[in-house]
Every structure is written in C-alpha cells, then in structure tokens.
C-alpha cells in the first residue's frame, strides 16, 4: 500500500465521532426555525398592518407595498444583530446549479461614528456582477450590471459560523434589461401561472372557497460520504465529483446489507449535526437512513410550499457539505461517484394544495367518485405525455447520464405509474363501465398472534418508474442528486398549468350543450383515451419496456445532449411564452447554458483523466514493470524456472502499451473537441462522441492495471478503502 494511503488509513483509525454543539436544554419545537425571520418574529417586530401584508404576500402571492420595506428591513436587522450578525447578503440561485452571495456590512459611518443600518432600498435591491454568471448569451462580458430582487415569499435566515452570523435574504436575480438570470424567477412565475389556471378550473368545478393554489414539494436528498483524508488523495473526486478510475472491489453492494442498516457512529454524529443545523434554519427534515450502496445515505424532509422547499433543498446541500468537513468527511452529491455502485438521485415529490388546506391530488377513499381528483389526474397525464421531451430536459446533464437507466434509477423514457387501483379507475372511465374498481379495504395477517394486523395499501410502489403516483403526490424520481430543484418544478408547474387551462377551456366550450357534469365527463374520458399511452405499471428497467415504449411512440432521449435541444422546440417556447414563464430569448439562453455546462463538465473530466493517467498511474505501473523485470533477471541468473514470471511481465507490459496508446488517443480527442468551432450544441456533441468514449476506454485499461500493479505503488485510494473506511 502506498505511503500516502497508509497514512490516511492510520488517521481514519484514530478518528472518533464529533459531538454536535446542541443548545443545552432546548426542546425541538423551540429550536426549529430559531435562525429564521419567521412568522413569530414578524408578529413581534412589525406593525399589525405590515405583518398582515407580509404574511399575505408569503402565503397568497399578493404584492407587497414597497412603503413597508423600511419597516421590514429594520426589523430584520435588529433581529439579526441581536444574534451576532454583522453582514447581510442577497442569497440567490444563478444558473450554475449552486447558490451565490455577496456580503455587505450593516456598518455605516456618520459624523465619525459607526452606525448599524439596513433600509428598505438595500433590502429590495442588490447589484452583483451579472456578467460573471452563466447567461447563455443574454449578457456580454462588458455588460456587467445585474440586480437581485428581494423575494418576500421566502423567509430570511441566519447562517452561523464560529465568528458570527450573516443575514441571508432570498432573492431573484435578473439582468439590467429584465431577463431572468436565475432559477428562482421562472419558478415564481410558473407558480403564479399554475395558481391562475387551477383557481379558474376549481371555480368551474363548483369550488368558490379556494382563493389560491400552490404546489407542494418534498426533495429526498441522496448523497455519499468519504473520509476527507482519502478524498484529498483522489484528484478525480476533487476536480469532477466522481472517480474516473477504480477497479471493482472484492466486496461492493452485492450482499445487500447496507440499505437501512445500522448507521456508523461517526456518520450518525454527522447526521445529527446536519439535522440540528437544518432545524434551526426551519428546514423540516425528518428521515435519515443508509441507502443501497456502501457509504451512501439519504435525508428526507416533510412536504412544504414548493418555492420554499426549493430554497431549503439548496440549503440542505450546502449544510451537508459544510458539516461533513467538520466531521472529517467529504459529502459527494454527484449522481455517480463510483462506477458499478448505485448512484444518487433526488426524488422530487410534487403535488398541489389550496389555501383551504386541501391536497388536490388526494384521491380520498373512493377515487372514482372524487371528481376533482379525477380532473387533476387527467391534467397531469396530459401534461407528462405532451411535454415528456421538455420534462426530460430538466434532468439532462453530464452527471445524470451515468445514472439514468442503469438498473438503479428510472430510465430516460418518461412514463407514469398509477398502481392497480387508479389504473382501474382510468380504464373503467374509458370503457364507460362507470366508476372503476371498488376495492375493499384489505389487511395483512403476518401469522404471529403477537403481531398486529396491518392495513394493506391500495397499491404497491414502483421504484423503476420515473414519474410515480405515491398516495397523494407524484414522485419525479429521475432528478439527479446534485441538481437544483428549481428547473424541474418550473417545468412541472408550467405544463400542468397548460393542461388545467385546456380542461377549463374545453369544459366551458361543451357545458352549454351537455351540462357541466356531462362536459367534465367527456373532457376527462377524452384525455384518458388520448394519453393512456403514458401509463406503465411494469418494470421500467426491462428491455421489453424500451421496445414497448417505442411502439407507443414515447420519446427516449438516451443522453443529455440528445435531450437538451428539445428545450428550444417551437411548442416548448410557445408554452413558456403563453404563461409568461420564460421569453424565447430566456429559453434559448438556458438551452445554451445547459450545453455549455455539459461541455465544461466533460472537458474537466478529460483533462483530469489525462493528468492522473500520465503523472500517477503510468509511473506506478512502470515501477512495477521494472521491479518484475529485475526479479525475472535475477531468477534467470540463478537458473530458476521463469515461465510464469515471463508471462506476467508480458501481460503487464502489453497492458502498459495499451494504456499509453489510450492516453495518446484521449489527448487527441480532447484537443479536437477543445478546438471545435460551432454552436454550443455541436460542441457538446463533439465532447460526447469523442471525449467520453476515450475516457471510458482509458479507465477500462487503468482498472485492469490496478489489479496487476504492486499495491504499494498504486497511488489512488482504492474502492475497498473509500467505500468502507468510515
């Protein structure tokens, strides 16, 4: 074993769980949201009129009077300063997949005295450099002016450090000319579009009570942990988030003993501190457990309003990475850090709720008799079927290409799983036989008298489906672990708003001749007939499904590059423009950014693979080659039989020759791609077609060398170490 690997392992052996700095004697209800400028703080520090206005803005999307901004800003500042804050930042989500922040001090000089000030103008608007963030052509480098705009629908919060706190104000980010440069603005626009469409349709269905509809979201976050001392010895992980080299270990996940297994003490201590920090930030995390792969875990929240849930998931990813380092870990959010090991996703649990407290996707005890639910189900079916290509673009990036369709994650083919009961309802309405199946409440008896009788769910789950109904929500399972949730939910909101609008239009058109009930029934049945092809309850991993999907005419975009171009399709641009979510210019910029992000990711992987292969792996292999040759020569000199040794040397030398050839090939392919001129789409295709296969080939040969080279010479921590040493 190499000296560096040995030293890292020795350090790991001496590590023990790190104690979380939990507030002494503070119960969870008092701890939750302690670092959030929430309703309690607003009520205590704002006038009654300001409090009501801000709450109405947060809960119902009503416009906030700018005249109240000074009062809100001063209250925020006083609250933050009392908790040790010295600075504030407009916390926003540019099109990088991460968050951004620029800190400004509350300090101001007046008459030689230091004052702590924060006014409404500073709260409402900030001015970061717009040209430094991806714009896809919206902004030239010399056009640097950009603005952050306070989002009053998402509460401000404090980020604590050992040296103080910072007041973080969720904001939108736009260009000087008004185009959205972030993921937050389109999400907010799409939420308003869905609200308008849903309220209109509910009025037609006879519900006059509902004033506002919003989407709800729960983001299940999967991640890997690796000891940081081993992580720092893996340049590929540092640069790309995944291992570019690594032979299969003697033990992986084949024993199926990790999922829901006991949690290692160091890991549990890490999880507990993560939860503590997130609870203080008002993030309603609830579930923690081991995932399928070694060193893989999951953190899951309680559902909440989608716009806030998206912010909270960004915070969740930040906190996971920050706390991991405090505990001597590195948190890996890449979709496929380890080849041959299950990758990480982020199940996007989406639904619609009213301001009267109803979940519009709750089927109730008798789904077939729940007219409102059936209408909403038809809307979602139509949306996913018509806009599967668009939904696919939201999960299209280089990392997710390694995961989708790998018998551990949903395929790239978009389909909906409803389960037996709801499928019966759909089929019954299509056939005109009435209300579908009326399944009785079933129970399970476990054959042990001491064990209770369990109620049986109406249907099983289907983990192979990319878009599965799971009781009272749809679970979009194809979202990657490293992705921001803004984009998928923007598209979900927009395409469902389109379907709700279509249904309302059709009901109004038909109601005059058929009556309201007859119109609703005709529209719903027609939609079920037209879009039944999107339903699939079987095994999405099977080759048969790929054939069946092709027969049905469902699109199958196997790579991110194939999928991204669909964003600019005429029908998709028209959809965004019709609901004022994105302009044609904003759509084009986002498509270009996705292509550019793909190219950059593959370029970094190619450069990293070349560097590691040339400077670390090849020298290690040659040193072993030299040692074997020297041993062979000594054996020959002594007259010892050397047939087996000669074969080993030939095999090793042959593989080294192949390795050198693969290095040269990757270098050539990378140079070709790097200097390729053309549109972002063409550039991305070149990287996919030239560099990706060359990296795969280089890895294949290197992983073979790893099994032949002296363990003391191999410079990279091996899978057996990085997966199991915690």
Residue whose C-alpha is closest to residue 194's, from 210, 218, 213: 213
Tokens of 176: 């000087």
Grade residue 21 by pLDDT with cuts at 50, 70 and 90: low
Tokens of 440: 């009785």
Residue-level pLDDT at 543: 86
Find out whether 715 and 620 touch, Cβ atoms under 8 Å: yes
114: alpha, beta or left, given left = phi > 0 and alpha = psi -120 to 50? beta
Q: What is the mean pLDDT of residues 31-52?
A: 89
Each residue's pLDDT tens digit, 561-604: 999 999 999 999 999 999 999 999 999 999 999 999 999 999 99
Q: What is the mean pLDDT of residues 172-180?
A: 89
CA angle 718-319-37, nearest 5°?
175
Q: CB count, 10 Å around CB of 607?
A: 17
| Secondary structure (H, E, C), 209-265 | CCCCEEEEEEEEEEEEEEEHHHHCCCHHHHHHCCCCCCCCCCCCCCCCCCCCCCCCH
Find out whether 299 and 268 touch, Cβ atoms under 8 Å: no
Q: What is the mean pLDDT of residues 518-546?
A: 92
Contacts of 469 (CB under 8 A, 6+ apart): 361, 416, 417, 418, 419, 422, 475
Each residue's pLDDT tens digit, 630-644: 988 888 888 888 888
Residue whose C-alpha is closest to residue 599's, from 693, 690, 687: 687
Contacts of 330 (CB under 8 A, 6+ apart): 225, 226, 227, 228, 231, 237, 321, 324
Kindly report which listed range (75-79, 283-287, 676-680) carries the lowest average pLDDT score. Answer: 676-680
| Cα radius of gyration rounded to whole Å, the chain | 28
Residue-level pLDDT at 454: 52
d(CA 49, CA 523): 45
CA quadruple 79, 84, 89, 95: dihedral positive or negative? negative
Residue-level pLDDT at 457: 56
pTM for the full model? Answer: 0.93
- Please give the full DSSP string across 113-175, using - where no structure is assigned: EEEE---HHHHHEE--BGGGS--TTSS-TT--BEEEEE-TTS--EEEEETTEEEEEEEEEEEE
**How many residues are there in the chain?**
726
Find out whether 717 and 230 touch, Cβ atoms under 8 Å: yes
Residue-level pLDDT at 86: 93
Residue-level pLDDT at 617: 97
d(CA 227, CA 583): 45
Q: Which residues of 223-235 are buried (b: 16+ CB within 10 A; e: fewer)?
A: bbbbbbbbbebbb
Residue whose C-alpha is closest to residue 210's, from 363, 63, 360, 56: 360
CA angle 637-639-640, nearest 5°?
110
């Amino acid at each position: 074993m190499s000296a560096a690997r040995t030293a890292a392992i020795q350090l790991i052996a001496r590590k023990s769980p790190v104690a979380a700095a939990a507030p002494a004697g503070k119960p969870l209800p008092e701890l939750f949201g302690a670092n959030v400028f929430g309703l309690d703080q607003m009520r205590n520090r704002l006038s009654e009129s300001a409090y009501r206005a801000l709450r109405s803005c947060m809960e119902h999307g009503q416009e906030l009077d700018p005249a109240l901004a000074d009062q809100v800003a001063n209250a925020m500042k006083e609250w933050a300063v009392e908790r040790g804050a010295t600075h504030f930042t407009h916390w926003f989500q540019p099109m990088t997949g991460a968050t951004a922040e620029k800190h400004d001090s509350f300090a101001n000089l007046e008459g030689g005295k230091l004052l702590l000030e924060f006014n409404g103008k500073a709260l409402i608007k900030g001015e970061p450099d717009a040209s430094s963030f991806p714009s896809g052509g919206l902004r030239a480098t010399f056009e640097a002016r950009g603005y952050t705009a306070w989002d009053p629908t998402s509460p401000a919060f404090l980020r604590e450090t050992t040296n103080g706190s910072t007041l973080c104000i969720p904001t939108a980010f736009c260009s000087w000319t008004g185009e959205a440069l972030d993921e937050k603005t389109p999400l907010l626009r799409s939420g308003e579009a869905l609200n308008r469409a849903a309220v209109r349709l509910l009025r037609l269905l006879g519900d006059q009570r509902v004033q506002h509809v919003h989407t709800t979201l729960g983001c299940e976050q999967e991640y890997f942990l690796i000891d940081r001392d081993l992580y720092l010895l893996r340049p590929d992980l540092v640069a790309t988030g995944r291992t570019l080299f690594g032979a299969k270990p003697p033990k992986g996940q084949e024993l199926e003993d990790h999922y829901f297994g006991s949690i290692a003490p160091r890991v549990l201590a890490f999880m507990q501190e993560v939860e503590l920090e997130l609870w203080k930030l008002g993030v309603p995390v609830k579930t923690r457990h081991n995932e399928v792969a070694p060193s893989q875990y999951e953190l899951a929240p309680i559902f909440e309003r989608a716009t806030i849930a998206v912010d909270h998931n960004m915070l969740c990813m930040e906190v996971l990475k920050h706390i991991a380092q405090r505990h001597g870990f590195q948190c890996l959010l890449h979709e496929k850090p380890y080849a041959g090991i299950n990758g990480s996703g982020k199940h996007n649990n989406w639904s619609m709720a009213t301001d009267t407290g109803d979940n519009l996707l709750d089927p109730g005890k008798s789904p077939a008799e729940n007219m409102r639910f059936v209408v909403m189900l038809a809307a979602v079916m139509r949306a996913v079927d018509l806009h599967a290509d668009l939904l696919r673009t939201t999960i299209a990036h280089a990392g997710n290409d390694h995961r989708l369709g790998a018998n551990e994650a949903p395929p790239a083919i978009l389909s909906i799983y409803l389960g037996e009961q709801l499928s019966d309802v759909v089929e019954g309405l299509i056939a005109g036989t009435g209300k579908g199946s009326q399944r009785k409440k079933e129970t399970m008896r476990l054959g042990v008298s001491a064990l209770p009788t369990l109620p049986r769910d109406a249907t099983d789950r289907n983990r192979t489906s990319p878009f599965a109904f799971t009781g009272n929500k749809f679970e979009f399972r194809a979202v990657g672990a490293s992705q921001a949730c803004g984009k998928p939910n923007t598209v979900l909101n927009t395409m469902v708003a389109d379907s709700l609008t279509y249904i309302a239009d059709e009901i109004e058109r038909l109601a005059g001749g058929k009556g309201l009930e007859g119109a609703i029934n005709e529209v719903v049945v027609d939609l079920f007939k037209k879009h039944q092809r999107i339903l699939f309850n079987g095994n999405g991993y099977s080759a048969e499904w790929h054939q069946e999907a092709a027969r049905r005419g469902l699109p199958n975009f196997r790579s991110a590059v194939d999928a991204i171009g669909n964003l600019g399709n005429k029908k998709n641009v028209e959809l965004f423009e019709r609901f004022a979510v994105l302009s044609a210019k904003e759509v084009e910029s986002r498509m270009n950014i996705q292509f550019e992000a793909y190219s950059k990711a593959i370029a970094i992987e190619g450069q990293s693979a070349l560097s590691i292969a040339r400077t670390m792996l090849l020298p290690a292999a040659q040193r072993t080659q030299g040692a074997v040759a020297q041993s062979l020569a000594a054996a020959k000199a002594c007259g010892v039989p050397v047939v087996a040794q000669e074969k080993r040397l030939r095999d090793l030398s042959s593989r080294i020759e192949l390795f050198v050839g693969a290095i040269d090939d990757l270098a050539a392919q990378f140079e070709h791609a790097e200097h390729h001129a053309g549109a972002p789409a063409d550039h991305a295709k070149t990287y996919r077609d030239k560099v990706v296969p060359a990296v795969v080939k280089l890895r294949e040969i290197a992983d073979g060398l790893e099994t032949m080279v002296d363990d003391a010479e191999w410079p990279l921590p091996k899978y057996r170490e990085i997966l199991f040493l915690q």
